[in-house]
Amino acid sequence: MKTIRTNVSLVAFIAVFSVNVYAEELPLFASDDVIDIVFEAPMTTIVKNAEKRPEVEGIMRYTEDDGRAMTLNLKMTTRGKSRLKYCRFPPLKIDLKKGETKGTIFAGQNKLKVVTRCRAGDKYERYLLQEFSIYGAFNVLTDRSFRVRTLNVTYVDTSGKRDDETHSSYFIETDKEVAARYGMEQRDAEKIQFSKLDPAHASKLSLFQYLIGNTDWSMTAGPPGAGCCHNNKLIVTPGSDSGWILLPYDFDQSGLINTSYSEPSEMLGIRSVRQRVFRGRCSNIDQLADTIVIFNERRAAIEAELLPAALEDKPRKTAMKYIDEFYEIINDPKRLQKRIIDDCVG
């Protein structure tokens, strides 16, 4: 039977007092205020040919906090994999001209991911809200994570073939920006050795994915033909073979959200995405006790993110029950042993 040991004070100290001392913070993700934006582009081309990843030119209109009406040129394309096949409105990526962004909230930004509403309807608005909230919850656990910024976007089709549509979306910070905040750099790799990862961060990541019921990720490899690591970006300290950090993204397959298009993993033998499977490594299980302390200490803040005020009563109650079940497991020694420790990978 596997066991765990505790080193609470050191892990808690590192988690609480992480300090940004390396890079000047860029303005886009320094605020939580909603940005009203208009994208004007050939949206018919984007939507109808989403899987072909067309690249089109367009403009972005918005107003700065000081009242300046701004127009920035951009290139737009689609991104993603499974969502491109199912969604009627694809996730997007925009490419801004750095020379135009100086002195604006987009200063220092170039390529940005835009997470969009998959389809029309209230449940798809909920999916978007809940996935956004998951990013915020992981921010509670570590600063070494993607920040997001809410948008209220009006999409204007310059071809005139589609009606204008306005709905919520959000930007995701780039991995290069996260890395720069900590004197690190983005790294591409086919696969990596788990031993190179920061053990405390890897433990938080594994337990967080268990909290939200997400199995659609990997810490060491990607799908065939794709790089490491599935639904994570890798950042490293230059010249170091240890302390590597994974930045998780794409949570729409999680049990917490339980989208209508989510698919349980055949490899893991589960029948529903609501069924939790712990995917943390056995070689890292000695970090678990300290990680649980952090999750308990920050439970209120985590729940505040995962249960936003805008979430309607029924899905809120469902999400609350799902979160409660997680905390019951990690705070019950027998269930912890059976559901997590004995179920670790490798």
Tens of pLDDT, residue by residue over 105-133, are 999 999 999 999 999 999 999 999 999 99
pLDDT band at 306 (very low <50, low <70, confident <90, very high): very high
Contacts of 19 (CB under 8 A, 6+ apart): none
pLDDT at 23: 56
Strand ranges in the chain using DSSP code E only, listed in sequence order: 35-41, 56-63, 69-78, 92-96, 111-115, 148-157, 165-172, 185-187, 232-236, 245-248
The whole-number average pLDDT for the span 179-189 is: 94
pLDDT digit string, tens, across residues 40-87:
999 999 999 999 999 999 999 999 999 999 999 999 999 988 888 889
> What is the DSSP code (8-state) at residue 119?
S
SS3 209: helix
Both tokens of residue 87?
A: 């969604």
- Check residue 211 and give its pLDDT: 99
Angle between helices 313-330 and 299-306 (to 10 degrees): 150
- Strand 111-115 relative to strand 165-172, pairing: antiparallel
Reported confidence tier of residue 225, pLDDT bands at 50, 70, 90: confident
> Does 18 score more than 80 pLDDT?
no
Confidence bin at 226 (pLDDT 50/70/90): confident
pLDDT band at 266, cuts 50/70/90? confident
Which residue do the tokens 């609501």 mark? 274
> To the nearest whole number, what is the mean pLDDT of the chain?
93
Instruction: Report CA torsion sign: 267, 272, 275, 279.
Output: positive
